[in-house]
């Protein structure tokens, strides 16, 4: 039986200088694994999308693996700017097998749709489930919080993302925009 794990992919959103981060899943063989690897590489072209669709339509998978493949295809849609289909894939994944990355990605879609309160809510749910790369959830939540003028919350989330992954420069770059005063 093939298993598919999670890896990271990036979906760009320019909002106060930030870019939302999407999470994808990878491990195993077959089309689903290839879909995952392409999503991990950051691909958003039609070929990557077709590969993920072929995996979903033609490969026998466990509900967990199918959910992960829906997340990967959703990430490809997210990168392509097709938010309704990305959200549809994430919703299907959520019903099949609850994965933290599903909620982190739903949050990224909602940020792109400027539904910031909803984004924070679903990202909180994803973080509570223990994603493989929690720094991406904190980063996304920071982007949403900043858009809602919760500057303290945004700063703290950027800081947490930087603490969790010290070699990731983007959260540090975002933190540099803030002026922190102690009272």
Q: pLDDT per position in the chain (183 positions), as tens?
A: 333 333 333 333 333 344 566 665 544 568 988 998 888 888 899 999 999 999 999 888 899 999 999 999 999 999 999 999 999 999 999 999 989 999 999 999 999 999 999 999 999 999 999 999 999 999 999 999 999 999 999 999 999 999 999 999 999 999 999 888 887
62 found inside a domain: yes
**How many domains is the chain built from?**
1
Which letter, b or e, does each residue of 58-97 get, where b requires 16 or more Cβ atoms within 10 Å of its Cβ?
A: ebebeebbbbbbbbbbbbbbbbbebbebbbebbebbbebb
CATH code of residue 39? 1.25.40.10
180 found inside a domain: no
182 found inside a domain: no
181 found inside a domain: no
The domain of 67 spans: 7-175
2 found inside a domain: no
């Amino acid at each position: 039986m093939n298993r598919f794990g999670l890896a990271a992919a990036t979906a760009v959103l320019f909002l106060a200088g930030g870019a939302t981060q999407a999470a994808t899943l990878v491990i195993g063989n077959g089309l689903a694994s290839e879909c995952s690897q392409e999503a991990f590489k950051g691909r958003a072209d039609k070929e990557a999308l077709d590969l993920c669709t072929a995996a979903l339509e033609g490969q026998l998978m466990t509900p967990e693996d199918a959910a992960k493949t829906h997340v990967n295809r959703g990430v490809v849609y997210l990168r392509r700017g097709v938010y309704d289909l990305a959200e549809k894939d994430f919703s299907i994944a959520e019903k099949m097998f609850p994965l933290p990355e599903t909620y982190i990605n739903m949050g990224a879609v909602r940020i792109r749709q400027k539904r910031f309160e909803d984004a924070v809510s679903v990202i909180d749910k994803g973080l509570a489930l223990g994603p493989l790369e929690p720094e991406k959830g904190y980063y996304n939540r920071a982007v949403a919080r900043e858009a809602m003028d919760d500057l303290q919350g945004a700063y703290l989330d950027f800081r947490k993302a930087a603490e969790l992954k010290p070699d990731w420069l983007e959260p540090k770059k975002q933190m540099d925009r803030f002026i922190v005063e102690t009272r």
